[in-house]
Amino acid sequence: MNQPTVRQALQTAQTLGLERLDAQLLLLHALGKPDSDRAWLLAHDDDVLPEAGADLFRQLGLRRAAGEPLAYIVGYKEFFGLRLKVDARVLVPRPDTETLVAWSLDILQAPAMSAKPRVLDLGTGSGAIAIAVAHSLQTSGRPATVVAVDASADALAVAQENAHSLHADIQFLQSHWLEKVSGHFHLIASNPPYIASADPHLAALVHEPLQALAAGSDGLNDIRQIIKQAPEHLHPGGWLLLEHGYDQSDRVRELLAGRGFQQVQSRLDLAGIARCSGGQWLGAC
């Protein structure tokens, strides 16, 4: 059988329903080229693909067409300028979560913050939040203690591998939320499950771990638990920041205020959606 050219292979992939960018990235991966080399595809669109590369590309394209996340297929995801290993043991980090990291860094790098802040990432998954925060603080020369927690031993294994490869100094703990956490922190950040258990969007996320996505009938079960327990582990003046769904900011702010948090507010993501909410704990009330 004649081997397809670069252009023909990409056209065939798009007939399977693949977006052009996904097809290009998969073809680069199949050919052993970096994903920054898309210009090479354009310059060589009449080149005939090697048999091994064409066969691998067809296999990868079928996986993507079946709904498997691109990040699982290529084995990594870019997040906050860092390349993280990801697979089916962890949720694929979303760009929306970079809003939570940026807000965390704004607080941790404020003049009034402790010279050696303690940071807790609840439900770390691939380690995205903890590693991005730790890496940024290390790069800026600001010492900090960063602790990453997850209930899943499999997720912690992925996060530890990412921290090691990116030279991020992080302590890891297996715990269901704050159950086994000790000590107090200046910042607690979390991207917990927040999708309602009956949400039809879950059907499109079948390849990712359900326990990292769904949280009860209204999607707020885990957020409620974290808000209830967090003050016991916050220094006076410490902050709790939470990522949540696109339509949950009002309710999350109500929960924070009801627990006694002050300066309750939300942050918008790049699409202008209130993606994260948080508040400051000033002490017992």
pLDDT score, position 218: 77
- Distance (Å, whole) CA 63 – CA 86: 16
pLDDT string in tens for the chain (285-residue length): 578 999 999 999 999 999 999 999 999 999 999 999 999 999 999 999 999 999 999 999 999 999 899 999 999 999 999 999 999 999 999 999 999 999 999 999 999 999 999 999 999 999 999 999 999 999 999 899 999 999 999 999 999 999 999 999 999 999 999 999 999 999 999 999 866 665 566 555 665 665 655 556 677 989 999 999 999 999 999 999 999 999 899 999 999 999 999 999 999 998 999 999 999 999 765
Half-sphere exposure of 24 (CA within 13 A, CB side): 15
Whether pTM > 0.85 for this model: the answer is yes
pLDDT score, position 200: 63
pLDDT score, position 283: 78
Q: How far is CA 274 from CA 77, 93, 106, 252, in A?
A: 24, 18, 17, 11
238 bridge partner residues: 281
Task: Return the structure tokens found at 150.
Answer: 């997850």
Q: How far is CA 266 from CA 83, 227, 234, 242, in A?
A: 28, 15, 19, 9
pLDDT score, position 1: 56
pLDDT score, position 208: 62
